[in-house]
Amino acid sequence: MARDIEDSYEWFFRAEFPQVVRSAYLVVYDREAARDVAQEAFVQVLRHWKRISKYDKPEAWVRRVAIRLAVKVAKKQRTLTPLIEDHDTPATQGMSDPDLARAVAKLPGNQRAAVVLFYFEDRPVSEIADILECSQATAKVHLHRARKRLAELLGEEVLVDVS
């Protein structure tokens, strides 16, 4: 039985870890920090795996922890250092859309997390609310404000709001 639990955790880890690292990166914009965040989240999952493995959506649990940690890191970065300058830097070299990267980096932590979960992970608003530990109305507000801010920064028009 213990072996089954270990195997199921390894299977879960392999299935979810890469995506969690990438999602964390899109929130913190730092590869090392993203890996630290993802690893910390999976350490916590491992400690409670016997229970979490029985949930309908254990992937939501690990994302809740990872995104929460990532938002904390992102808040600290916002206060202490600019993430990406308003001109091309080594950080934006090679990016296909550096303007987008800079614009998303300027969003507050929760708005950035909502954008990542909605556009990168294709999650519905109900799951975003669950992961961000807020109401669905609040999740929609995060998305609405994020899209409005991004449109201003990128000179784009917001045509349709999220449902």
Neighbouring residues of 90: CB distance < 8 A, sequence distance ≥ 6 = none
Q: Do the Cβ atoms of 147 and 139 come closer than 8 Å?
A: no
Size of the site for another protein (CB under 8 A): 56
Tokens of 161: 């709001």
Note whether 52 binds another protein by CB under 8 A: yes
- Of residues 66-125, those binding another protein (CB under 8 A): 68-69, 72-73, 75-76, 94-97, 100-101, 104, 115-116, 119-120
- What is the residue type of 143? L
Q: Do the Cβ atoms of 161 and 139 come closer than 8 Å?
A: no
Among 3, 86, 159, 163, binds another protein (CB under 8 A): 159
In the bound complex, what is the minimum distance in angstroms from residue 157's beta carbon to another protein? 7
Note whether 64 binds another protein by CB under 8 A: yes
Nearer to another protein, 119 or 145 (CB): 119
Note whether 50 binds another protein by CB under 8 A: no
- What is the residue type of 136? Q
119-150 as b/e, with b when 16 or more CB fall inside 10 Å?
eebebebebbbbbbebeeeebbebbeebbebb
Residues that bind another protein (CB under 8 A): 10, 13-14, 17-18, 21-23, 25-26, 31, 33-40, 42-44, 46-48, 52, 55, 61, 64-65, 68-69, 72-73, 75-76, 94-97, 100-101, 104, 115-116, 119-120, 147, 150-151, 154, 156-160
